[in-house]
Amino acid sequence: MVKESNFSSFTVRDLPKTERPRERLIKFGPEALSSQELLALVIGRGIRKTRR
């Protein structure tokens, strides 16, 4: 039996482009991002414009 989670699946692509960490970093600098967002950018999956 599979237990259902109360959490929905969420990705960065679900965010409006103006709220995505990479775009906010470019526009506002690293000061505008949380430590978690900066870490996610550093260890993020994939390469921009490359499909895996």
pLDDT at 45 over 70: no
pLDDT at 50 over 70: no
pLDDT at 24 over 80: yes
pLDDT at 3 over 70: no
pLDDT > 70 fraction of the chain, expressed in percent and rounded: 69
Cα Rg for the chain, rounded, in angstroms? 14
- Both structure tokens of 48: 């921009």
Task: Write down the pTM of the prediction.
Answer: 0.61
Smallest Cα–Cα separation from 24: which of 48, 41, 10?
41
- Both structure tokens of 30: 């690293």
Q: Could you tell me which residue, 20 or 7, shows the higher pLDDT?
A: 20
